[in-house]
Amino acid sequence: MVDGVTLKFKDGGEIANYWRSCLRLPFNVITNWNTGEIYPYMWGEYKGLRLGIFEHSDGVFKYVIRGSLHVFWNNGGANDTLYTFQDFLKTLDKLEKELCVNAQSVRVHSVEFGLNVSTSLDASFVLTGLKSWGKDLFSLEKEDAEKKTIKAIKKDDYEVKIYDKGGCVANQQNQRLNNKKQRKQDKRNNKDKTRETRDYNKKLLRVEIRYKKMKKLNSVLKGTGLKVVTLADLTRIEVFQLVSSELLKVWSDAIYFNSLDEYARDSMTSQQLERFKYLLITETWNLGNAETEKEKAQIRSLRQNKKNTWWAMLLKFGGHNTQAEIRANMIGVLDQILGQKTAFEPHVLDQILDKQKTPVENEKLVRFTTLKIRGEKLYLENSIKEDSEVKTIGGGALKKSGTFYPRKADPKKHKCSQCGGDMSHKKPNAKYCSKRCSNKQSHENRKRRMKEAKTKEIPILENLLKKMERGRLNLLITYTHNRKRYSDLLEQKEIKASSDWIKRIKEVQVLKGGGRSKRVLTGTRAKKLIREITKRNN
């Protein structure tokens, strides 16, 4: 249950001496490359924990412990096993016995609670159905260190994660097998587990919630008289029960859709069917951010209405539901962790699971599969009781026996406007197959416009140069300064421009009486006119 922690405490240096002399832990230090100065901070690794020591000039030693208590309990092994409340209490005794760390004197700065739950489907496939939680969409993350895929929602004071735990453990084991130094160390410690091949549990899902600030955790405990400050405050079973409810809410309140779940499509009206398809789109649940309290209240109300509609449709038309099954498995695991039967808050998923156990006779159940073809969301209803032939359309597999409901008609094949290449992989409204073709076409269009302007403006310039002798031209001159455009209305006799100012001219309009525009010059023609007028006035 309790997994990652950040603990801080201080003393006069007794624990630092014990760690370095008695345990003989290999500590690392930070050294300045240029001066050779050794900074008063060192750290070391011990059974999944990272131990940090910071020595102050006044003789006070400050300590930081980061890492997984579950891994520490397993002597550096994986944290994919069952870790109960009683195991946590024994972990604190082990922490005091091996590292001389008293839970009463250690402050908790962040804590992570995690739950491993078995699923009937592969965990990596289950992750694809997560859409949103609260007002936020799940973001897909990949950590290169362990090469695991995570669905997460990150906030300033807490973080929610759901990921494939079996895949994570398998990647960690492969790294240990490839790490020769680690293998030698395991051999010295009479551990040869890295040479054994461990089975990859593909159906193990992990749900985590990490409180980055204890203020957020204490807000969950508000009204119960409980407060977490030190590590010993986590030894109360009531804290575990309240956090267990929060973990259960993370999964239960998430908007989840699995393409293998079943629904009574024939019982839906056409309006209900369209509404159901609309709720299947992930972007439907992205309601954006609000600034004022009024906007926030409107967004909360809108999302709650959508949730109520979603749960009502699942309860009325739903058959097999993966989310409800996983919730039931989580409740069973939480009862084992707490060591007692716990009455959690009822949820609509419990009713859906009860309905699933008593199916309606002769009710035809259908699966909805969301596909994305050429940038368009398409919906396919597949009967689960019939074997269908498969054909390929636009890169997606569609079954002939299913009913196909596109939001828009399947766009015809179109070609690139520049090179004529195939653009079946692009959106229907795309014009170019690549950025290169887009830039090339823009260059040709710009060149054509400049040529047309030159052909049109040269006769105007020649005519104005003849009339310039009279000295009666009224000009509206547009120029740039500090990346902004300005316009000045001047008479011909007022113009005495420097060469730098002439370079900034973009356009010159020759005005009639009343301020109406008569003729326009741009580019080099406008600059030439002003240059000739300046020469005449000088």
Residues 139, 112 share a domain: yes
Distance (Å) of CA 463 to CA 24, 388, 432, 466: 95, 78, 42, 5
**Are 345 and 270 members of one domain?**
no
Give the per-residue pLDDT at 373.
Answer: 37
Whether residue 429 lies inside any domain: the answer is no
Question: Both 39 and 52 in a single domain?
Answer: yes
Are 350 and 499 within one domain?
no
Q: Measured between alpha carbons, how far is 377 from 371 in angstroms, rounded to an integer?
A: 6
Q: Which domain holds residue 468?
A: 440-537
Establish if 206 belongs to a structural domain. Answer: yes
Residue 410 has a pLDDT of 43
Same domain as 464, residue 332:
no
Q: What is the pLDDT of residues 125-158, one digit of tens each?
A: 888 888 888 777 887 765 544 445 788 888 888 8
**Quick one: CA dihedral 18, 20, 21, 22, positive or negative?**
positive
Residues 326, 279 share a domain: no
Nearest to 163 by CA among 199, 208, 129: 208
Pairing, β 38-46 against β 376-383:
unpaired
Query: What confidence tens digit (pLDDT) does each residue in 203-251 have?
Result: 888 899 999 888 888 888 888 888 889 998 888 999 889 999 999 988 8
Condensed to tens digits (0 to 9), the pLDDT of residues 438-449 reads: 899 899 999 998
- The predicted-structure confidence for 309-361, as pLDDT tens digits, reads as follows 888 888 888 777 888 888 888 999 998 988 888 888 888 888 888 877 776 66
Give alpha helix (H) positions in 318-424.
322-338, 348-357
pLDDT over 80 (residue 489)? yes
Do 34 and 70 share a domain, yes or no?
Answer: yes
> Is 381 inside any structural domain?
no
How many independent structural domains does the chain possess? Answer: 3
Same domain assignment for residues 52 and 113 = yes
Same domain membership, residue 128 and residue 36: yes
Task: Choose between 403 and 187: higher pLDDT.
Answer: 187
Residue 181 lies in a domain: no
Helix H or strand E segment including 148: strand 148-154
Do both 271 and 246 map to the same domain? no
Identity of residue 435? K
369 within domain boundaries: no
Distance CA 256, CA 126 (A): 9
| 214 in the same domain as 313 | no
115: number of Cβ within 10 Å: 25
Assign 401 a pLDDT band (cuts: 50, 70, 90). very low
What average pLDDT score do residues 60-72 get? 89
91 and 120 belong to one structural domain: yes
What token pair was written down for 264? 């009574």
Which residue(s) pair with 123 in the sheet? none
